[in-house]
């Protein structure tokens, strides 16, 4: 449904994404894992159409930068960019009108309530704490309810209630058939139900496996991550360890 094909993005001489290929199946939740600087944000920004790159990205066979594709795609950036002169409610209204949403008032109320911003509706963007800004960033991204949603490090900066609420919300979206791509560099945060993981490092896709495949190999996501990014096999025993245990 979403197809990333041979995408390369360079910033000057620095190759942020190097021939990246993957497909997101409809109704699946994919976790995009990788250390800082692996290229996760760059590939997400490329998918959403913010960057120039070489290669091709299509949504339901439609090029990602077309108006039709943009209606299907949604993106929640890692860093909120809010308007200091708009209130919380005005941000939500602004997005609703920009996306030409209809009957959106109840949805705004629902989102602001779930993320505990309902008593902050009249606060201006620059009056919000960092965590509140993150929550408003989420509410803004969730409001249009797109078919495919990319979330870049969505749990960063959130308080425990918001983390729990977002994980529940993600699971609800997954159950309702949305296609989700969630990036993170924190493996421990990936305890929600996911279908596939893509591990990136140095701009390249180093692994692309389903949950069933990993579980079938008797590995955890953490095992796979270190195997792929540091070449450490869980069952590896160094010669010294063998000597210590009398095996060598």
Question: What is the contact surface with ligand ADP in residues (CB under 6 A)?
Answer: 11, 14, 16, 34, 36-42
Per-residue burial over 130-139, b = 16 or more CB atoms within 10 Å of its CB, e = otherwise: eebbbbbbbb
Query: Which of residues 27 and 49 has its CB atom nearest to ligand ADP in the complex?
Result: 49
Query: Which of residues 40 and 91 has its CB atom nearest to ligand ADP in the complex?
Result: 40
Give me the helices (H) in the chain, please: 40-48, 67-72, 88-98, 105-114, 130-142, 160-175, 211-216, 221-230, 239-244
* Closest separation in Å from C-beta 185 to ligand ADP: 7
* Closest separation in Å from C-beta 224 to ligand ADP: 17
Whole-angstrom CA distances from 30 to 170, 204, 211 are 11, 16, 10
Edge-to-edge strands, sheet with 179-184: 73-76, 148-152, 179-184, 29-33, 196-201, 204-210
Query: Which of residues 38 and 95 has its CB atom nearest to ligand ADP in the complex?
Result: 38
* Closest separation in Å from C-beta 186 to ligand ADP: 12
Q: SS3 of 75, please?
A: strand
* Closest separation in Å from C-beta 116 to ligand ADP: 28
Whole-angstrom CA distances from 34 to 31, 199, 239 are 10, 5, 29
Whole-angstrom CA distances from 101 to 90, 119, 124, 170 are 14, 23, 23, 21
* Closest separation in Å from C-beta 9 to ligand ADP: 8
Query: Which of residues 78 and 147 has its CB atom nearest to ligand ADP in the complex?
Result: 78
* Closest separation in Å from C-beta 16 to ligand ADP: 3
Number of helices and strands in the chain (H, E): 9, 10
Query: Which of residues 11 and 52 has its CB atom nearest to ligand ADP in the complex?
Result: 11
Query: Which of residues 20 and 166 has its CB atom nearest to ligand ADP in the complex?
Result: 20
* Closest separation in Å from C-beta 34 to ligand ADP: 5
Query: Which of residues 41 and 197 has its CB atom nearest to ligand ADP in the complex?
Result: 41
Nearest-5° Cα angle at 74, 160 to 185: 45
């Amino acid at each position: 449904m979403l197809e990333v094909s041979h995408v390369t993005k360079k910033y000057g001489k620095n190759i942020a994404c190097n021939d990246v290929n993957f497909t997101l199946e409809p109704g699946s939740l994919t976790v995009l894992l990788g250390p800082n600087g692996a290229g996760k944000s760059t590939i997400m920004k490329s998918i959403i159409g913010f960057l120039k790159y070489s290669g091709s990205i299509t949504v339901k066979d439609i090029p990602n930068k077309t108006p039709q594709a943009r209606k299907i795609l949604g993106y929640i950036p890692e860093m909120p960019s809010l308007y200091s002169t708009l209130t919380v409610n005005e941000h939500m209204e602004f997005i609703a009108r920009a996306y030409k949403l209809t009957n959106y008032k109840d949805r705004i109320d629902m989102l602001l309530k779930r993320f505990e911003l309902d008593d902050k509706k009249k606060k201006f963007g620059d009056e919000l704490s960092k965590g509140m800004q993150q929550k408003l960033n989420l509410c803004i991204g969730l409001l249009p309810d797109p078919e495919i949603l990319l979330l870049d490090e969505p749990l960063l900066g959130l308080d425990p209630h918001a983390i729990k609420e977002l994980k529940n919300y993600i699971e609800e979206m997954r159950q309702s058939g949305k296609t989700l791509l969630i990036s993170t560099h924190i493996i421990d945060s990936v305890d929600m139900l996911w279908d596939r993981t893509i591990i990136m490092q140095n701009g390249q896709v180093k692994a692309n496996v389903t949950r069933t495949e990993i579980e079938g190999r008797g590995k955890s996501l953490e095992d796979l991550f270190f195997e792929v990014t540091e070449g450490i096999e869980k069952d590896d025993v160094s010669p010294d360890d063998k000597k210590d245990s009398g095996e060598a």
